[in-house]
Amino acid sequence: MSGRRVFLVERDEAETYVLVSLVTFAATVILVRLFLELTGYPQVGSSTLHIAHLLWGGLLLFLSVLMVLIWDNPHALTVAAAMSGVGIGLFVDEVGKFITQNNDYFFPPAAPIVYGIFLLTVLIYLYVRKPDADDPRRAMVKALEELQDAIYGEMDRFEVDQLLANLETAQQSKRQEIAALAGRLHTYVQEGNVPFKDYDPNLFRRAIMLVESWGLRLGRRRHRVLLLVGLGIMAVTALVAIATLVWVAVSPAASKDTVLAQLVSAAEQQDVANLSMFYLRFALEVGTGAIALFAIYSFLQGNERRGVAFALVAAVLSLTAVQLLTFYLDQFTAVLPTLFQFGVLVISLQYRQWYLASNRDRQRAA
């Protein structure tokens, strides 16, 4: 007897819930580190007890799981997504304490571990954000979930149209029971039996729509200039890295030690092995800078598709390899350059979507 094949279907609005969790996760880590730095790392507890914020993170994660298990209301799922982001942020922020014998909160590899988990969450978001394949069973499951919004009285015209599209896809199923149910539901919805309200996007969707409207108002030429400026900063960073390496190579021993002391952080100076990572980071910065220069050259030659492709490669390489090393070497001071690299990545993706994608690709991405 063969086992039943597992059939996974993404929850309706899954990308929104993952985005909420992602944003609250990043904001929690940044705000906690900033608060602790400003307040001198206070401890909650007594001479015997120490209530670490990891415990509060675990509590929020537990409560968010309970909410998902108990309620299926969209508002409850949004709250659970926010609680999960805050919970995982509080939890992983203290990872250094639990991978070291002496409970070292400032253990250098802790920062890249936190950043690595954040990158994995970003990859999950990008995967979830991809349009679903036109599978009749998947469309039927999505339609049944979307019908729950009709019970809550929270569907708008756009959501009703999306529901009808899923039911039309489900009618193409080879399984008669799915096609028949989808047909009856399609007729029921099309006859106006599902009341809908005016389109009222949630807070995150409104924020995304606002940013997109600003971007589109910016225009293609200004958008291209903004992208070239970002790539130019990456290229200049690479040129500075090359100049620094050349200067260190040709300088006398005494001058070389002085230059390195000025460049490396206090954590790096305490660990001789970090110098190899320091040079490796410089080499990777040179590589990403060279790719950024080639992207700029492609734009100036009029080949925008190739330019955007190389811009994406440079941004992704910097966000993964370069910034992981930067978090190890400089700890959480790497947040600002990481945000800059994310900005270059988002600008590149939006330029490709708005100005270089086909009409069909734009519709599937909408």
What are the DSSP calls for 287-310, one per residue? HHHHHHHHHHHHHHTT-HHHHHHH
Number of Cβ atoms within 10 Å of the Cβ of 203: 10
Q: What pLDDT shows up at residue 360?
A: 46
Mean pLDDT of the chain: 79
Average the pLDDT over 340-365 and give the result: 73
- The Cα 53–Cα 127 span in angstroms is 31
| Lookup: tokens for 339 | 């945000």
Whole-angstrom CA distances from 156 to 57, 162, 188, 303 are 36, 10, 16, 41
Q: What pLDDT shows up at residue 88?
A: 92
The highest-confidence range among 81-90, 331-340, 342-351, by mean pLDDT, is 81-90
Q: What pLDDT shows up at residue 82?
A: 92
- The Cα 133–Cα 255 span in angstroms is 61
- The Cα 311–Cα 224 span in angstroms is 12
| pLDDT digit string, tens, across residues 96-137 | 888 888 888 878 778 888 888 888 888 888 787 776 667 788
Q: What pLDDT shows up at residue 287?
A: 87
- Sorting pLDDT into bands at 50, 70 and 90, what band is 248? low
* In contact, 170 and 179? CB cutoff 8 Å: yes
Q: Among 2-16, 35-49, 235-249, which stretch is predicted with the lowest mean pLDDT?
A: 2-16
State the DSSP string of 168-209: HHHTT-SSHHHHHHHHHHHHHIIIIIS--B-----HHHHHHH
* In contact, 345 and 312? CB cutoff 8 Å: yes
| Lookup: tokens for 170 | 């489900």
Q: What pLDDT shows up at residue 267?
A: 43
Q: Among 104-108, 267-271, 314-318, which stretch is predicted with the lowest mean pLDDT?
A: 267-271
For the chain, which residues make up each domain, given as ranges?
14-129, 136-203, 219-365
Whole-angstrom CA distances from 315 to 139, 166, 306, 309, 358 are 35, 36, 14, 10, 23
Q: What pLDDT shows up at residue 250?
A: 67
Q: What pLDDT shows up at residue 361?
A: 47
| pLDDT digit string, tens, across residues 217-247 | 778 888 889 899 999 998 888 887 777 767 7
- Sorting pLDDT into bands at 50, 70 and 90, what band is 80? very high
- The Cα 297–Cα 286 span in angstroms is 16
- The Cα 301–Cα 323 span in angstroms is 30
Q: Among 70-84, 291-305, 313-327, which stretch is predicted with the lowest mean pLDDT?
A: 313-327
Residue 56 has pLDDT above 60, yes or no: yes
- The Cα 310–Cα 294 span in angstroms is 7
Average the pLDDT over 190-213 and give the result: 71
Average the pLDDT over 23-46 and give the result: 81
